């Protein structure tokens, strides 16, 4: 197999199926140190280029300080979100 055919095969390979993420679902991830981020999904849909994105609010908790309520609003592609967060 040549390097070109290996590269072309990688570029045109079918992507893995994306997980189903729904509005209202809650996910978590452990961030740097003793920080835990809890994400509450507010919406899922395509951007202007048709790439599916997750809109969510995030609560950041640290062992020494705790914020109350979901403060930040963020957007990630469905793939990046599912690579980072697990369902709570």
Q: How far apart are the first and last CA of the chain?
A: 44
Q: Which residue has the higher pLDDT, 53 or 6?
A: 53
Name the pLDDT band for 41 (thresholds 50, 70, 90): very high
Does residue 71 have a pLDDT over 80? no
Give percent of the chain above pLDDT 70: 72
Phi then psi dihedrals of residue 25, to 5 deg: -70, 150
DSSP readout, 17-55? PPPP--TT-EEEEE-STTEEEEEEEEEEEE-TTS-EEEE
Please give the model's pTM, rounded to 2 decimal places: 0.72
């Amino acid at each position: 197999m040549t390097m070109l055919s290996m590269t072309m095969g990688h570029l045109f390979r079918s992507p893995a199926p994306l997980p189903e993420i729904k509005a209202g679902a809650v996910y978590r991830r452990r961030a740097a140190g003793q920080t835990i981020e809890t994400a509450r999904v507010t919406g899922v849909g395509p951007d202007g280029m048709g790439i599916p994105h997750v809109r969510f609010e995030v609560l950041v908790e640290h062992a020494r300080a705790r914020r109350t309520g979901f403060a930040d609003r963020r957007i990630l592609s469905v793939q990046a979100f599912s690579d980072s967060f697990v369902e709570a």
